[in-house]
Chains A and B, each alone.
Chain A
Amino acid sequence: MRSPFRRSDRPKALHDAGRDVSDTFDDAFQQKLESLVLVARRIASGSSRAERRTKKSGSGIEFAEHRPYVVGDDFRFLDWKAFGRSGRLVLKQFEEEQDISVYLLLDCSASMTANQSQKLNYAKKIAAALGYIALAGLDRVSVQAFGDALGARLAPTRGQSRALTLLRFVARLDGEGKTDMAKSLRAFAARESRRGIAIVITDGYDAAGFEAGIDALRYARFDTTVLRVVDEAELSPKLLGDLTLVDAETGDTREITVTEAMLVRLREAYALHGARLASFCRDKQVPFFELSIATPFDEALLHILRRGGLLG
């Protein structure tokens, strides 16, 4: 596979892409990307899905199946040899290869960066890697940032040569504002007429609930996958005593006396929240993955690719 970053050009490519890109996606990251593409292809070649093709007849060259002739069908597709053998008029149908649109929906709310959390950086790496793999598979890739509304958008693009554009766009995303998945994802579904794979990368913190947003994608017939990014530091915060908690998104405050027992209950509540999200996705047959930022992103992606055959 040809990389958009040839080895000899790689440092230059980073330099040209600007400091944002080199800060977020270093050389090691890009080397891992290429490995991931190879692995993704190997996984895809061994799976039943193989290439993504439509079932309807089209301009492809690979025979798919026969169907009975009905008035109005194009005579050019009649299978005369079959007619000679069976005496029935049937039409040959071909599979048409079609590129799939991959939409990477990235939660860029303030909760992703609260307390210097690396959740957003991690999510950006995951999104960039998935986008890169999709571009390598000649799929159309679009990145959409969201918070309480739709944010920056990378218009659907295809071709490996667009990888640098993808990385540059993702690198510049920043976390701010609230989360409103229902509003954002509804707006997204209404705008994108071309259906495809929608990969939502979020930490799952939405005061109004995440269900409506995911449902909006499902109802619009997007092939939806949810990736929840978790930061273990949130599970065991070094907080004890009388504190004023400030919500990173809304600025709401809570006065609280944090004890060890309360931290234990917080971990339980955290686990319950994740379990609720996972349970909802399982009920709706939406693939769900929980990604810890402590896990190297390439390991996490390999896990997703092997378990979900998401791309490739």
Chain B
Amino acid sequence: MELLGLTPLMLTLTLTGLTVVVLALYLLRNEQRKVIVPSVLLWDSLLIKRKGVAWARKLRRFLSMLLALLIAALLALAIADPRRLAKSSDRRVVILVDASASMQATDDKPNRLARAKAIAQRIVQSLSGSDLALVAQLDASVTPKSTLTDDRASLRHGIERITKTDLTGDLSVGMMFALDVLSSSKEAELYIVSDGNLNGIDTAARLAGQHKQLKVHYLRVGSRNRNVGIEHFSVRRYPLDKTHTESIVRVRNFGDRTETAKLKLRAGAAVLYEETLTLPAHESVARTFADLGRP
């Protein structure tokens, strides 16, 4: 057990202080309000009947004080933030949060990336006191968002700084990064928070297989496996007649199944082009337009 909030000395001092305060309050409370009465003669006749109650009253006051002391002790312990020590002090964790284009899908509310960040926060929360962790953003490359640290605040802040990208995610890059970070650790763990629409999965699996000491946890977000998106979109002028333009759009199905997708090009509220496309697995379809948007 270790204390993250307070040192043992500070905890002792806090407990002592709270105990003194509680006891002082009870002692002050025992200095009850004095009321002058003409005679205690009549009250005595009532007190005789209530001798048994007097014991109960003292006991109640004592129990009340014990309860107050217990609450004060629990409060001090909460401030001290005790954590159970990890079995091994060599645990190292890398958390890869997928920030590729597919993570902007909204089947998870508000979107997959937000859901992935929330999961990453929970992973950080569950780390024990001696764990060292690193948070990194995964897309076409890997961007570390924190150092390898036991500072929860730094890790939480790193997760918050992960931003969406319009890039294709590549897990093999992420895996190599993780192996570099965790190479010296005997107890290494890799958390991948992703929707699974990543390139380089096979390579990553092979690399992971070569490092048996690495525990890989895959935490999936997103309820659908559909992964269709605009892969390329550009506009250029004709070299010989610069008053006219040509546009090209390429839509790709990253999934393993044939998908049907609706391509819709807009200029503000006006729909310029609309078509329903059927895309075989891992295939792309391109469309070119002359003077797109010109009346």
Contacts and interface: CB of A to CB of B under 8 A. Distances in A.
Q: Do the two chains belong together in a single complex?
A: yes
A111 to B, nearest CB: 4
Contact of A117 (B38, B46, B49, B50): B38
A203 to B, nearest CB: 7
A269 interface: yes
B236 interface: no
A115 to B, nearest CB: 5
A68 B218 CA distance: 138
Contacts of B57: 257
Nearest to B42: A269
Nearest to A209: B41
A273 B35 contact: no
A205 to B, nearest CB: 4
B109 to A, nearest CB: 54
A265 interface: yes
A248 B36 contact: yes
B242 interface: no
Contacts of B35: 115, 237, 239, 243-246
A262 interface: yes
B39 interface: yes
B47 A241 contact: no
Interface in B8-64: 29, 32-47, 49-50, 53-54, 57
Contacts of A256: 43, 46-47, 50
Interface residues of A, number: 35
B38 A245 contact: no
B39 A269 contact: no
A234 B38 contact: yes
B38 to A, nearest CB: 4
B177 to A, nearest CB: 68
A9 B39 CA distance: 43
A114 interface: yes
A90 B95 CA distance: 138
Interface in A208-257: 231, 234, 237, 239, 241-250, 252-257
A100 B271 CA distance: 124
B36 A246 contact: yes
Contact of A269 (B45, B53, B54): B45
Contacts of B45: 269
A254 B57 CA distance: 14
B39 A205 contact: yes
A278 to B, nearest CB: 16
A244 B37 contact: no
Of the listed residues A205, A207, A256, the one surrounded by the most CB atoms of chain B closer than 10 A to its CB is A256
21 contacts: A114-B38, A115-B36, A115-B37, A115-B38, A117-B38, A234-B38, A242-B32, A243-B35, A245-B37, A246-B34, A248-B39, A249-B38, A249-B39, A253-B40, A254-B47, A256-B46, A256-B47, A265-B49, A266-B46, A269-B42, A273-B42
Interface of A: 111-112, 114-115, 117, 119, 203, 205, 207, 231, 234, 237, 239, 241-250, 252-257, 262, 265-266, 269-270, 273
